[in-house]
Copies of this chain bind each other. A is one copy, B any other.
Amino acid sequence: MTPFDQSAQLQAMLDVEVALARALADVGIIPATAAVDIETAAHSDRFDVSALHADAERAGNVAIPLVRRLTELVAAVNPESARHVHRGATSQDILDTAFVLQLRSAAPALVAALARVMISAAGLARTYATTPMPGRTWLQQASPTTFGLKAAGWLDLLGRCRERVNQAVDRALVIQLGGASGTLAALGDGGPAVVETMARRLGLGVPDIPWHTLRDRFVDVAAALGTTCGALGKIGRDLVLLAQSEVGEAFEAPESGRGGSSSMPHKQNPVRAVAAVAASVRAPGLVATMLAAMPQEHERAAGAWQAEWSTLPELITLTAHSAEATALALTELTVVPERMRGNLEVRGGVAMAEALSNALSEYMPRGEASSHVERLSRAAVRTGCQLREVAAADAVVSQWMTREDLERLLTPEQFIGSARVFVDRVLQRWGV
């Protein structure tokens, strides 16, 4: 039973009906015995989930046949108590509050997976804080960065995502109880007291007003999840790119049976990173659906609410899966610092061109320095020599710099700027 399968939903709905009955009894609207009878009848094994869902197709939602069946079960024991089943509530009260309970059940595993991603990213950031590797912009080698700085970026991103998810879920943990049109008229003056008692029993917050067609809290959850999928997708895409055969700077640890191919024996596919990328392709459409479902008509929507039913559970499941996969990918990541260092030498080591241009601009206008280094870089690429060789042989450069100067200047370890400062800040921020 996962938090969003039909059995879990059934149990959550029954929990809501029981809490309602208990609250009605607490407030004195129904007899205590009725609440007891309802609680006694409300056992999920007395309900046929498939039959309820078949009936839901005709009824319009699954709460209607559930209430009918629950009433029958109570009536079989005590007809008087049956009068009090679902008293004052409307179907959406049950479905929305049940969903809130399911959300509360599902969140911890997701948040824990995000925490594992953070811990792994923090470990990488710490270990490789000053390990140079090619920076890559537009997928072209740029000036060097460090692998720790890249991992710190992942950590920072995920840290904010975990906060988002926690905050959005917290804000969404409010009860829904408004009755047919949101006034709780069927409870006379007792509505607010029932809401508060029932919320306390369920451990949920009390909203100022029923929110049958005010769906922003659920949309917040969706947005936080979608953003998290996007963030995990960024990590996943970086990992896939680093694992390319021609790059080989980091890859998912080989393990028997994982990431193989049905035709190619040498394959080691980045299956976990790819799961995160795939989730990031799917999430935007699901979030868009939740946003598109916001303009819900009057007191109960004719289509938009119904569109939420499978969308938000799907998005939660998807995000949790993506977080799990990413946590595993990072935890067991094989990092190859020597490949990172070696890749800085490909294409004549032109990744260091900025450092040279920077130094030259002490002696000539910046634009002129840049153009000159651009020419040297192309020569390096064309001839297959290293940029430092080409520069050392260049009449202009050699006016001001010796071969030793250039050797020192074009050492990636010397050109990682404030990478460590940034890494340390991020580690401190998230305390992992």
A 350-372 contacts with B by CB, 8 A: 350-351, 353-358, 361-362, 364-367, 369-372
Task: Provide the bound-state CA to CA distance between A152 and B211, in Å.
Answer: 11
Task: Provide the bound-state CA to CA distance between A343 and B267, in Å.
Answer: 16
Interface hit among A104-112, A114-122, A393-401, A419-427: A419-427
- Is A144 an interface residue, CB under 8 A from the partner? yes
Question: Which one of B75, B82, B300, B365 contacts A138 once the chains associate, using CB atoms below 8 Å?
Answer: B300
The residue of chain B having its C-beta at the shortest distance from the C-beta of A146 within the complex is B183
Inter-chain contact B137/A422, CB cutoff 8 Å = no
A 281-335 contacts with B by CB, 8 A: 281-289, 291-304, 306-307, 310-311
Inter-chain contact B210/A216, CB cutoff 8 Å = no
- With contacts A140-B267, A186-B358, A246-B246 taken as known, whether A278 is within 8 angstroms of B291 at the C-beta atoms is no
Task: Provide the bound-state CA to CA distance between A140 and B364, in Å.
Answer: 44
Question: Which one of B180, B258, B260, B371 contacts A354 once the chains associate, using CB atoms below 8 Å?
Answer: B180
User: What is the interface residue range for chain A against chain B?
Assistant: 35 or more
Interface hit among A1-9, A39-47, A60-68: A60-68
- Is A50 an interface residue, CB under 8 A from the partner? no
Inter-chain contact A209/B285, CB cutoff 8 Å = no
Task: Provide the bound-state CA to CA distance between A407 and B94, in Å.
Answer: 31
Task: Provide the bound-state CA to CA distance between A283 and B143, in Å.
Answer: 32
Task: Provide the bound-state CA to CA distance between A426 and B206, in Å.
Answer: 12
Task: Provide the bound-state CA to CA distance between A215 and B280, in Å.
Answer: 14
Inter-chain contact B209/A231, CB cutoff 8 Å = no
Question: Which one of B189, B261, B346 contacts A90 once the chains associate, using CB atoms below 8 Å?
Answer: B261
- Is A97 an interface residue, CB under 8 A from the partner? no
Task: Provide the bound-state CA to CA distance between A137 and B240, in Å.
Answer: 11
B-chain residues with CB within 8 Å of residue A291 when the two chains form the complex? 226-227, 229-230, 283-284, 287
Task: Provide the bound-state CA to CA distance between A306 and B233, in Å.
Answer: 13
Copies in the complex: 4
- Is A126 an interface residue, CB under 8 A from the partner? no
Q: Top 9 A-B pairs ranked by shortest CB distance?
A: A135-B181, A230-B294, A277-B303, A137-B300, A285-B285, A185-B417, A266-B377, A183-B417, A233-B295
B-chain residues with CB within 8 Å of residue A288 when the two chains form the complex? 284-285, 287-288
B-chain residues with CB within 8 Å of residue A181 when the two chains form the complex? 135-137, 142-145
13 extra interchain contacts, Cβ-Cβ under 8 A, other than A143-B185, A210-B422, A285-B286?
A90-B262, A135-B180, A136-B297, A140-B245, A143-B263, A152-B209, A153-B182, A186-B355, A213-B234, A214-B231, A230-B293, A234-B294, A265-B377
Inter-chain contact A245/B146, CB cutoff 8 Å = no
- With contacts A192-B418, A266-B373, A346-B245 taken as known, whether A303 is within 8 angstroms of B287 at the C-beta atoms is no
- Is A202 an interface residue, CB under 8 A from the partner? no
- With contacts A287-B288, A365-B83 taken as known, whether A183 is within 8 angstroms of B419 at the C-beta atoms is yes
Question: Which one of B150, B260, B311, B374 contacts A266 once the chains associate, using CB atoms below 8 Å?
Answer: B374
The residue of chain B having its C-beta at the shortest distance from the C-beta of A380 within the complex is B266
B-chain residues with CB within 8 Å of residue A141 when the two chains form the complex? 245-246
- Is A156 an interface residue, CB under 8 A from the partner? yes
